[in-house]
A = this chain, B = another copy of it.
Amino acid sequence: MATKQPVIIEDKDQMRKWSRSMRSKGNTICLVPTMGYLHEGHISLIREAHKHAQVIVVSIYVNPGQFSPSEDLSTYPSDFHGDIQKLMAVPGGVDAVFHPYNLYSHASISGKVKDGDDGGVESKGVKDKGVGVVSCVEDGRLGHQTWVRVERLEKALCGKSRPVFFRGVATVVTKLFNIVEPDIAVFGKKDYQQWRIIQRMVRDLDFSIKVLGSEIVRDNDGLAMSSRNVHLSPEEREKALSINSSLSRARFAAEKGQVNCKELRDSVIKTIEEAGGRIDYAEIVDQESLGAVEEIRSPVVFCVAAWFGKVRLIDNMEINLSRA
């Protein structure tokens, strides 16, 4: 199989120029935003992208704006060389990789520590009573201070324990949209809330971009693929399978008539806790509004976040009852 070498672009202006030249030739451009350390889940997004566009741009950027100083920005895994190899192996390849060094060139970034450092995080300037939430993008006097907020959706689910997360995601995706200027963008439904937030943002802010959601990819043992899985010990990984297995059982129970969400949740929580996981949340919510429901009467999604050791994993399962 012939492999395609993607052009690697680090500069914002060059990226936009490249993209515009592709569009001027009549191409449809699809952006697949990633934080790198690519796995089969990312590759499935690229396969999806190929169905809709002639030109595929993959961005690889670990966004400090979505990490709080106490989170794992400094230990987030990366392997740029390996990523490029994987992208070259995808049928059809990708056309460009946008790999900026820093998308917040007017801010100083904290929380990004050197290799070998034990993860200590610089705290200077990260407290801001006026704003309330602070990320690793430090708000200096003239620094980055513009944030896009999807004010209701960002507060649900992961937003409760990660208050800066979706503000950072919506903002960096806005930046990527303005730099790459794609016609289409593909997001994984593994990050269900993120996908819905970006969809809503695009609608509310009139971006001329079609946002597609791509199905979760699981390893053979059922664990949803995630770059963070690499941090799981074999034992923790075994325990973490309780997420997928309990969610699958919940969906099966719902299909058999158990539509009481409290009972479905209790059962999932019990299974995960018995396996040794620590639940962050386990909620059954409306697929669009992400509001909690008490009884399944319309399309819902069962979302779970749980800690296994030092690793926080998320997973979800859509439940679309034929009679709902």
Contacts and interface: CB of A to CB of B under 8 A. Distances in A.
A147 interface: yes
A207 interface: yes
Interface residues of A, number: 38
A2 interface: no
Contacts of A249: none
Contacts of A145: 150-153, 200, 204
A123 interface: no
Report the copy number of this chain in the oligomer: 2
Q: Considering residues A145, A153, A291, which has the most beta carbons from chain B within 10 angstroms of its beta carbon?
A: A145
A144 B150 CA distance: 9
Interface in A272-322: 288-289, 291
Interface in A186-209: 200-201, 203-208
Nearest to A103: B206
Interface in A131-158: 131, 139, 141-142, 144-153, 155
A130 to B, nearest CB: 6
Interface in A1-59: 12, 16
A178 interface: yes
Contacts of A178: 205-208
Contacts of A174: 205-206
A147 B149 contact: yes
Contact of A150 (B146, B151, B207): B146
A239 interface: no
Contacts of A109: none
Contacts of A148: 146-149, 205
Nearest to A203: B106
A146 B170 contact: yes
A146 B169 CA distance: 13
A151 B155 contact: no
Given A146-B170, A151-B139, A175 B205 contact: yes
Contacts of A149: 146-149
A90 interface: no
A264 to B, nearest CB: 23
Contacts of A147: 148-149, 151
Interface of A: 12, 16, 103, 106, 130-131, 139, 141-142, 144-153, 155, 170-171, 174-175, 178-179, 181, 200-201, 203-208, 288-289, 291
21 contacts: A12-B206, A16-B208, A103-B206, A106-B204, A130-B155, A131-B151, A139-B152, A141-B289, A142-B288, A145-B150, A145-B204, A146-B148, A146-B150, A146-B151, A146-B201, A147-B151, A148-B149, A171-B205, A175-B205, A175-B206, A178-B205
In the A-B complex, the 9 residue pairs with the smallest Cβ-Cβ separation, listed nearest first, are A146-B204, A178-B206, A175-B206, A145-B152, A146-B150, A146-B201, A145-B151, A179-B206, A144-B204
